Amino acid sequence: MCIWRPECAGRTSSGGWSRSDKRKGRSGKIRNIIDNAFPERAKGAQDEAFLHGYTVLFGSTDNNYIQEEKFLDALKAKMVDGIIYVSFNPATSEKLLENITVPVVFMDRKIKKRENMGSVLIDKFSAMKDVAAYIAGKGCRQPAYITADISISPSKELGKKFRKTLRSWDLMIFTFRNI
């Protein structure tokens, strides 16, 4: 996701940014829009950004290094104020972020060389266990689990945790793959 308000992105005649041209924008990247949680993340980000006068643009790199590199280059060209970054591969992301001079906040995964940067992290496995326990506690006897491509490691692991927790409640589970 990249947040940018183009009407604020003006240059001075000298080619630099003037103080009055303060951009009110942030940018970010969601690594894969087929992720199960993408719609909720996107809607939440868009709603909150709108309340504060931001514009939200979304893009996906489909877990492709070259696309990720081009996306980051595009963000640099737009001269965004910051990036919210969800990395597919933290090892390759280190190289991609070497020349990024704007603030970066990592979501989901941290990059070791950038430990001093902010991050928003969640224990997805604990959260999935809580979700399954909540569903079972509400009396749902035949829950369904809808997933993205299970070849994506996080989807596969979250599904395992969900099914394991439901089995501990002696519940039958139906799994649907969202294609």
Superfamily per CATH, domain 124-177: Response regulator (3.40.50.2300)
How many CA atoms does the CB half-sphere of 72 hold within 13 Å?
A: 23
**What pLDDT, in 10s, does the model give residues 3-44?**
333 333 332 223 333 233 344 444 444 445 555 666 777 788
Architecture of the structural domain at 2-120: 3-Layer(aba) Sandwich (3.40)
Distinct helix (H) and strand (E) counts, the chain: 5, 8
Local structure of 71: helix, strand or coil: helix
**What pLDDT, in 10s, does the model give residues 102-159?**
777 777 666 666 666 667 777 777 887 788 888 888 888 777 777 666 666 667 777 7
Cα 157–Cα 113–Cα 101 angle in degrees, nearest 5: 110
The full set of domain ranges for the chain reads 2-120, 124-177
Report field, pTM of the whole predicted structure over 0.85: no
